[in-house]
Chains A and B, each alone.
Chain A
């Protein structure tokens, strides 16, 4: 599935929700379902500092593709993180580096990618793209 298809799927899933409670319950559930990051990767150098919640991001490069695992100490952030992982993990570095991320806006969570939110999500997206750019040369 392409990055675009992954994003469109998430937008579809969110279109069923009538109110914020259902939407957030879904995000919280995704946060709880996110496969745990391997403890050895939950170290300071993988820590993306947001102002309020911590996010850990680990990248693996296999067969020309980047695979991400991630975690956060806040469950809503973890839900958002899990969607970002779902969209970008398993794609080629080039696609990740040039990806246009529009699903967060489309599902009404635009503020989470703003600088004022400082929940680490924006920094995480930047870091994922950095990995993409750094590994693009190896293709």
Chain B
């Protein structure tokens, strides 16, 4: 824990919860206990209002119209880009590309970087705890280019085996793509070390920040990652919008991902020249509303304070971990020393699906299954896990409800 966090105060959660209309919902007649935040987070009023406001007051296409509304929309869209750049401390605004989400961002890099830089026999290095979105795009481009996908293994705690990383980081590797925080295990990876070692060998690094950006302050200039991907909907913004950060030098060298409007400078049937950054990678009408509203979600986080958010989440996460650890026959899947956001577990021989079903009936929303990380489940030889994932609006009484719910389900299933 750094000094900034040590001084952060725990938020007044009851006050915070009033900002989120959906948290007032009842499910099966009881107050909803929402513990599926790693899948998607709920949205504050501010965000909902901004969405409404855009369509009600200045909906218009960007970068093309000379008319008043189009200028307003364009201005708001570019302000959003500035907010994202400031949030991760990017050097240039044009290093921020708006995408559909983390998956889209990673596909963009795998495809464009891969087409330009991968040759037969080259290697792409990922980790064994990646989400399918950071596996499959690389498999596809590797297959196309005759390159080889290599995998950093994990240990029984669900941590990366860094000694194996050192061995795998050969001069054949052209890019390293790893997650900052595991979505199924909650492990926080030593990304600083990974980036430093990769850079020492002249290899660029993509960081999947889908599960980090809402929990951990990310300073991209300090981290020095070459690419960073995240989704708007996991950071209290809308679905369908995401971000790719890329260092200018890489984005300049990479070919466009999709062709269409906005990404061109000049089109003739003989030849098309491409627009400059960031527009080169934003073909077609972008998700204007989504981008603007993502900017407002970031405003909400800045206003609340990420350090306070982190402190508050750590408090509830530690409380949950200790309460869950006291349940007989409960075992954690993934027990990393550095954890953020999510706790995965199994109880006795109970199938995660049965547990999830009976928790749902008690108005507790958790995730069950493989969490789109089938290789992780194969490693632990389990069909899936039950995953409770937390946001700063989750309370200790909600954790108590979860524990009580698990006990009841266990009695029913035994």
Q: Which residues of A contact B (CB under 8 A)?
A: 20-21, 24-25, 28, 51-54, 73-77, 119
Contact = CB atoms under 8 A, between A and B. Distances in A.
Contacts of B28: 20
B278 interface: no
A51 B369 contact: yes
B413 A75 contact: yes
A119 B353 contact: yes
B412 A28 contact: yes
A52 B412 contact: no
B347 to A, nearest CB: 13
23 contacts: A20-B28, A21-B408, A24-B357, A24-B361, A24-B412, A25-B412, A28-B412, A28-B413, A52-B352, A52-B356, A52-B383, A52-B384, A53-B353, A53-B383, A73-B383, A74-B353, A74-B354, A75-B351, A75-B354, A76-B353, A76-B357, A77-B351, A77-B354
A25 B351 CA distance: 16
Contacts of A28: 412-413
Given A73-B383, A76-B357, A53 B412 contact: no
Interface string B190-203: 00000000000000
Contacts of A51: 369
Contacts of A74: 351, 353-354
Interface string B344-364: 000000011110111001000
A61 B313 CA distance: 58
Contacts of B351: 53, 73-75, 77
A53 B355 CA distance: 12
A98 B344 CA distance: 43
Q: Output the residue of B357, B368, B408 with the most chain A CB within 10 A.
A: B357
A53 B369 CA distance: 8
A76 B359 CA distance: 13
Contacts of B361: 20-21, 24
Contacts of B412: 21, 24-25, 28
A43 to B, nearest CB: 17
Interface residues of B, number: 16
A64 B368 CA distance: 41
Contacts of A20: 28, 361
B407 to A, nearest CB: 13
A42 B354 CA distance: 21
Contacts of B384: 52
Given A20-B28, A28-B412, A76 B383 contact: no
A76 B369 contact: no
A21 B28 CA distance: 13
A52 B387 CA distance: 14
Contacts of B369: 51-52
Q: Counting chain B CB atoms within 10 Å of each CB, which of A25, A75, A77 scores highest?
A: A75
B239 to A, nearest CB: 16
Interface in B335-394: 351-354, 356-358, 361, 368-369, 383-384
| Among B369, B383, B408, B413, residue most surrounded by chain A Cβ atoms (within 10 Å) | B413
B369 to A, nearest CB: 5
Contacts of A75: 351, 354, 413
Contacts of A73: 351, 383
A24 B351 CA distance: 15
Cβ-closest 5 pairs across A and B: A74-B351, A74-B353, A52-B353, A53-B353, A52-B369
A25 B358 CA distance: 10
Contacts of A24: 357-358, 361, 412
B80 to A, nearest CB: 32
A21 B353 CA distance: 16
A47 B342 CA distance: 31
A119 B383 CA distance: 13
Interface string B397-414: 000000000001000110
A75 B413 CA distance: 8
Contacts of B413: 28, 75
Contacts of B368: 52
A77 B352 CA distance: 12
B383 A54 contact: yes
A25 B361 CA distance: 12
A77 B353 contact: yes
Contacts of A25: 412
Contacts of B356: 52
A107 to B, nearest CB: 14
Contacts of A54: 383
B376 to A, nearest CB: 15
A51 B384 CA distance: 10
A53 B356 CA distance: 12
Interface in B149-164: none
A119 B369 CA distance: 11
Contacts of B354: 74-77
A98 to B, nearest CB: 31
A74 B353 CA distance: 7
Given A24-B357, A24-B412, A74-B354, 8 more contacts: A24-B358, A52-B353, A52-B356, A52-B368, A73-B383, A74-B351, A76-B353, A76-B358
